[in-house]
Amino acid sequence: MTDSRPLTAAELAAENAHLRQQLQEAEELITAIRTGTIDALAVQAPGGPRIFTLEGADQSYRTLIEQMNEGALLLSQSGTVLYCNACLAGLLAIPLESMMGVAFHDFVPLDYHAYWQGLLTTGWSGKSKGEMPLISTDGRMHPFAVALNVLTFEHTPVLAVIVTDVSAQREISDIQAQVAEQNALLERQNETLRSQAQAQREAEQAAAETTRILEGIPHIAWTANPEGHNTYLNRRWFDYTGEDAQSKAQHQFGALIHPEDLPGALQHWSQCIGSGQALEIECRIRNAAGEYRWMLGRALPSRNEQGEIIQWIGAYTDIHEHKLAQQRVAETQQQLRENYEQLTRINRDLDNFIYTASHDLKAPINNIEGLLQALLPELPAELAASPSVQPILAMMQQSVDRFKRTIEHLTEVIKLQKEHEQPAALVDMSVVIHEVSLDLAPLIQATGAQLEVSLGTCPHISFSEKNLRSIVYNLVSNAIKYHAPNRPPRVQVRCHHEDGITVLEVQDNGLGLNLANTQRLFSMFQRFHDHVEGSGIGLYMVKRIVENAGGRIEVASEIGVGSKFSVYFRRENA
Amino acid sequence: MPKLSRILLVDDDQTTNYLNQLLLKRLDVAEQLQVALNGQEALNLMQDYGETAATPQPMLVLLDVKMPVMDGFEFLQAYAELPVSHREDVVIVMLTTSLHPQDVERVQQLNIAGFLNKPLTSEKINDILQQYFH
């Protein structure tokens, strides 16, 4: 319509009717093509009408194409849709009649224009394939596989395009991927199960090995799970308790442990389960004969590589005899302790008695002496001096003196007991002997005694100096006092080592002693001779001093020849 | 030698008191001698002495340790609680025969002039007078 003149209403109506006619013809044509009623069509071309024959396209093929589930279309060289089957129209949600004559290009997303152009180019040169989305009329994109083939109709090439919806395939591949993933997961789980089973087998083997070992040991052996429940008992248990090994009943330790030992045992066991510390208990367990025997129960936790307790392995050892022996020792020790305490008490009482006695005796004897002295001035001088009264007064005074001396000796003994642990020092023996000889000078002079000292290799003795002087004093004074009347006393003081022990000897040529009862010799207030002044306390004191310091005293004597006292001092650092 | 106005002898033993009185009289060291047979009697006397000027406190108390009713230690405890006026210028000397280390230690810790071992002798009396009343 190059003419620019406005058309009249009649002309427009005629044009409209013409166009409607053309549309009618086109639709009929399409229907005819689709249904196969026509085999060829003529198209008005600039060079005259051209006839398009649908080569080999008989009705059955067309029906096939119309019925198939892939989209099919024919494109002209300009990319115009010459033909399209119902499937493709459906896929693109477009009325079939609207497809004809449109540019297929319009259904290709902008991003794929170049790709589509590439496919077209390749397709026109023979065939091509690709995958790309197409846009349906509702604006949604769908994935498609496209296959392009050049066909020739009456020497005119057209491009046949088969369009396959691949969205379903995509879903399948998604599902397949999921299946694969699921399968892989299953495989991994199976692998885990297999390794667990292997571990289980190994654990069972280990347990079986443990059991085999535990069956072989000569003690009751058991295992328990980490919660403390018994899982195994070896044959010894059943031998000991008389329980039936085949019985499925739960073996209750509790029922066989002595009721007195049970609470402590259970408490300790639960502590061990909680802390993982080794179990060690002593308890009595009843045997098949109904007798309780002492058992030492020990258990250690067995741990895996992670340090978790996997089981407890324990054993019971019969310690009955040992325990009874222990109890007997404990009882004996208790007895000894009681005896010791009793002796200590008696000793203390005895000390107190001596204190009290000396105190209580002192007051009256002092009074008697005082009264005696008070009486003397009251007596007429001639009476006091008379031969019948004077000796009586003298004897009274002597008795009082002796009484007082006895009390003094008792006091000495008390002091000695109190000085039990005098510190030892290295004492120069020659000094001690010299001092003692000075103290005894009147006695030595009176008797004409001869003192011979030979200290040899031990000029020093480690001892309490005061006590050592007391020993030397008593032994030397005794040696002089009890001299034989027919010869002057000769006293030898010697020192020597004997098996590393220092020995002090005091030997005299005196009266000698009857040694039938040496025990009595060293007792308190024992006197073997009564012709000289003596209290009978000296040797007792010497013995006490020596023995308190861990040494001993020996005596050798012959009547009429003399005596020898030997003091063995305890070896220092022995 | 000074002569003391009053000496108090505290001892449950009558013979000891008799002999001590005899000794003190012979030495003629006191105007008055008084005897108490236990700590309680002595305490009563000490309380009374302070009440009137006519009965002055003893200048010297010779105190035994072991006595019935109230012993020497108990007496000293009670005596320490008397008003100061009752205790001024009083010399207390303990007389003891006890050898028990505990007793000796206890006596040594007491707040008294001194202690002596029995029996009382003229030498001991002279020592006391020399030491405390010279």
Q: Which residue of A has its CA nearest to B96?
A: A359
> Cis peptide before A6, with omega less than 30 degrees from 0?
no
Residues of B in contact with A374 (CB under 8 A): 19, 22
Q: Which residue of A has its CA nearest to B20?
A: A370
Please give the CATH number for the structural domain made up of B4-132.
Answer: 3.40.50.2300
Would you identify the CATH topology of the domain A421-568?
Heat Shock Protein 90 (3.30.565)
Residues of B in contact with A351 (CB under 8 A): none
pLDDT over 60 (residue B75) = yes
What's residue A41's pLDDT?
60
**Which one has a higher pLDDT value, A209 or A289?**
A289
Among the partner residues A362, A367, A411, nearest to B15 by beta-carbon distance:
A367
What's residue B87's pLDDT?
80
Residues of A in contact with B19 (CB under 8 A): 367, 370-371, 374
Q: Which residue of A has its CA nearest to B101?
A: A418
Q: Quick one: pLDDT band at residue B61, thresholds 50, 70, 90? A: very high
Q: How far apart are CA A91 and CA B109, in angstroms?
A: 126
Count of Cβ atoms closer than 10 Å to residue A225 Cβ? 14
Q: Is A414 on the interface with B (CB under 8 A)?
A: yes
A356: phi > 0 → left, psi -120 to 50 → alpha, else beta; which?
Answer: alpha
pLDDT over 80 (residue B73) = yes
- For residue range A461-504, list pLDDT tens digits in order: 888 888 898 899 999 999 998 888 889 999 999 998 888 889 99
Q: Which residue of A has its CA nearest to B22?
A: A374
What's residue B1's pLDDT?
63
What's residue A91's pLDDT?
83
Q: Which residue of B has its CA nearest to A372?
A: B19
Q: Between the CA of residue A485 and those of A218, A295, A488, A531, B128, what are the distances in Å? A: 82, 76, 7, 11, 50
What's residue A563's pLDDT?
92
Q: Which two tokens stand for residue A499?
A: 């098996």
Q: Is B106 on the interface with A (CB under 8 A)?
A: no
Judge: A359–B66 Cβ closer than 8 Å, yes or no: yes
- Range with lowest mean pLDDT among A33-37, A78-82, B55-59: A33-37
- For residue range A373-394, list pLDDT tens digits in order: 889 888 898 888 899 888 888 9
Judge: B97–A369 Cβ closer than 8 Å, yes or no: no
Backbone angles phi, psi at A228, to 5 degrees: 95, 5
- Range with lowest mean pLDDT among A486-495, A529-538, B2-11: A529-538
Among the partner residues A359, A369, A418, nearest to B97 by beta-carbon distance:
A359
Over range A446-464, report the average pLDDT.
Answer: 88
Contacts of A389 (CB under 8 A, 6+ apart): A379, A383
Among the partner residues A355, A363, A371, nearest to B13 by beta-carbon distance:
A363
Q: Quick one: pLDDT band at residue A533, thresholds 50, 70, 90? A: low
Over range A208-222, report the average pLDDT.
Answer: 85
Would you identify the CATH topology of the domain A216-318?
Beta-Lactamase (3.30.450)
What's residue A39's pLDDT?
60
Q: How far apart are CA B19 and CA A165, in angstroms?
A: 149
CB-based burial, A58-67: b 16+ in 10 Å, e otherwise: eeeebeebee
Count of Cβ atoms closer than 10 Å to residue B36 Cβ? 24
Backbone angles phi, psi at A231, to 5 degrees: -120, -15
- Range with lowest mean pLDDT among A25-39, A290-304, A360-374: A25-39
Among the partner residues A363, A367, A414, nearest to B99 by beta-carbon distance:
A414
Identify whether the C-beta of residue A345 lies closer than 8 Å to the C-beta of residue A373: no
Q: How far apart are CA A99 and CA A86, in angstroms?
A: 10
What's residue A34's pLDDT?
64
Q: Quick one: pLDDT band at residue A320, thresholds 50, 70, 90? A: very high
Q: Which two tokens stand for residue A553?
A: 């005293």
pLDDT over 70 (residue A419) = no
**Does A216-318 match A421-568 in CATH topology?**
no
- B 75-94 near A (Cβ less than 8 A): none
What's residue A337's pLDDT?
92
Q: Quick one: pLDDT band at residue A1, thresholds 50, 70, 90? A: very low
Q: How far apart are CA A83 and CA A65, in angstroms?
A: 11
Domain limits of chain A? Answer: 58-168, 216-318, 325-405, 421-568
Judge: B99–A358 Cβ closer than 8 Å, yes or no: yes
User: pLDDT averaged over chain A?
Assistant: 84
Residues of A in contact with B118 (CB under 8 A): 362-363, 366
Judge: B99–A359 Cβ closer than 8 Å, yes or no: yes
Chain A with chain B: Cβ pairs closer than 8 A: 38
Q: How far apart are CA B133 and CA B1, in angstroms?
A: 9
Q: Which two tokens stand for residue A326?
A: 């222990």
Among the partner residues A355, A364, A370, nearest to B100 by beta-carbon distance:
A355
Q: Between the CA of residue B25 and those of A272, A399, B46, B62, B122, what are the distances in Å? A: 88, 28, 22, 15, 11
Q: Is A359 on the interface with B (CB under 8 A)?
A: yes
Instruction: Give the homologous superfamily in CATH for domain A58-168.
Output: PAS domain (3.30.450.20)
Q: Which residue of B has its CA nearest to A411?
A: B99
- For residue range A301-314, list pLDDT tens digits in order: 988 888 888 889 99
